[in-house]
Every structure is written in structure tokens, then in C-alpha cells.
Amino acid sequence: MNNRIKNAFASKQNLLNVYFTAGYPRLPDTLPLAKALVEAGADILEIGMPFSDPLADGPVIQRSSSAALANGMNLPVLFEQLRELRAVVPETPVLLMGYLNPVLQFGVEAFLRQAAAVGVDGLILPDLPLDEYEERYHPLFQQYGLKAVFLVTPQTSEARIRRLDALSDAFLYLVSGPGTTGGTTLPDAEAQQQYFERIAALNLKNPRLIGFGIADKMGFDRACEHAEGAIIGSALIRALQDAEDAPATAARFVRGIKSPVARSV
């Protein structure tokens, strides 16, 4: 099975993973946004599945989830929209990011089957217990060719990081600091540097992307000094809030961030 995630990391440096909420700012915007983001230079797409209680997300993404739900977005609608996904973005890795409750309500195997059928590459489910994933769902992920992406925080122990690394065949999502997505409180620079160095010293098998609090080109460039790339979400959602043309706004946003970055090897 084509592993678009591995192919992306093998062929590029300084990858930009862009998060956007499905069905926001308008219900039909999901695929037009995906197309515009990729054409502007996004290397990975992370499509948020709206949920009424997104615990890991800050107020910007929470508001976008509420708006998307009010627009009529739900998992059946999303999978119907994504039937044309691979006609729009043939080779770009696509992840679904969300929370376990809607997946359980949909039915885990049915969800995985539908995700695989429309060409999704992997899932980020921050509240999925690791033991439950390993014991119950890992074989199903493998059966449907889907990759699990796990979050690592500055508080994650070495033993757990190694376990996450062993259970994943995609990349590790390094949370840059405490708090939720889109936070404005800057983490302690020295502590953050030590955190990234500690992760690098573990010589993990999976590549790493850094997320939470990255909002502009400067933040993206800094993250690329410590990982294979970065994840940006809230800043794009903020830009889309009052956009008359969401795809054009998204494309401008990505072009403002994604440019060649000098990087020592």
C-alpha cells in the first residue's frame, strides 16, 4: 500500500503540516481548502473532525468546530465530501484529527474502513488511551493501512516516548509546550531547547513535527531547526474567520510561511 507519509518525509525537508477544520468556514469548503493549501505548498493536510468538546484545542479551533457543527458537518457528511479527496490531492498525505467519542459512536472499524476507502493516510486521536489502542485497535489500523500519530509533550517520559515510537509508523507530534492549540503564552526558551534536545538524543525511528503555538514563518523556521517540520492550525483558522474567499486566503497564508529555509545538515 502506498505510504504517502513516508514518501513525504523521504523526499522533502522542512515539512509544513496544515490543520483546518472540516466544514469551516462554510460546509462546502473542505475540499476547496485542501486543494488550495496543497497548491500553495502544504506538505501534509490535517483535517479536523469537529467535536463539541475538543479538549486539546484552544478557543480559535473550538469556535471553528462549533461553527462547522452548526453548518451541518458530521462524520457521514465528511466522508461523503472526501470521496473526491484523491482526485483533488493525489499524493499529499492526509490525516484526520479528532476525538474518540464521535469515532466510537460511528463504530471504530466502520470509521477506519471509511477513512481508508476515501484515501486518508492516518489519524490523530489525542484522547485515545495508548493501552486501548495497542490491545484493541492497532490490528485494525494495520488491516486498513492507516497510520497512528501520537502526541509527545515535555512531560512525556522516555519509556512512553519509546513505546509511542514503536507503535507508530508515521511521525511523532511534538507538542511545543504546555497549554492548548493556538496559545499565546510563550514556553520557556531554555526548557523548550532542552526538551527538543532530549527527544533528538533518543534516536527514534519516526520523524518529528512540532506543533502548538506556531503561527508564522519565524515560528515555522525555528521549529524546523529541531524537527523535520511543523504543524500550523489556529493561525490559519484565525485568518479564515472573516475571509470572503477561504481557499484564496488559505493559499496566501501558506505562501507566506512555506519558503526555502537554510538548514545545516
Cβ proximity of 47 and 61 under 8 Å: no
CA dihedral 129, 142, 110, 121 (to 10 degrees): 90
CA–CA dist 227, 207 (Å, integer): 7
List 57, 165, 169, 228, catalytic entry? 57
Handedness of CA 146, 147, 148, 151 (dihedral sign): negative
- For strand 147-148 and strand 150-152, is the pairing parallel, antiparallel, or unpaired? unpaired
Query: What whole-number distance in Å separates Cα of residue 223 and Cα of residue 228?
Result: 8
Give exposure, 221-231, as e/b (b: 16+ Cβ within 10 Å).
bbbbebbbbbb
Angle between helices 246-257 and 30-40 (to 10 degrees): 30
Q: Is the dihedral of CA 100, 105, 111, 115 positive or negative?
A: negative
221 is catalytic: no
Is the bond preceding residue 187 a cis peptide, omega within 30 degrees?
A: no
Catalytic residue among 46, 165, 169, 228: 46
Count CA atoms within 13 Å of residue 147 on its CB side: 25
DSSP secondary structure letter of residue 137? I
Identify whether 190 is a catalytic site residue. no
> E strands along 69-200, which residues?
94-97, 122-124, 147-148, 150-152, 172-175
Catalytic residues: 46, 57
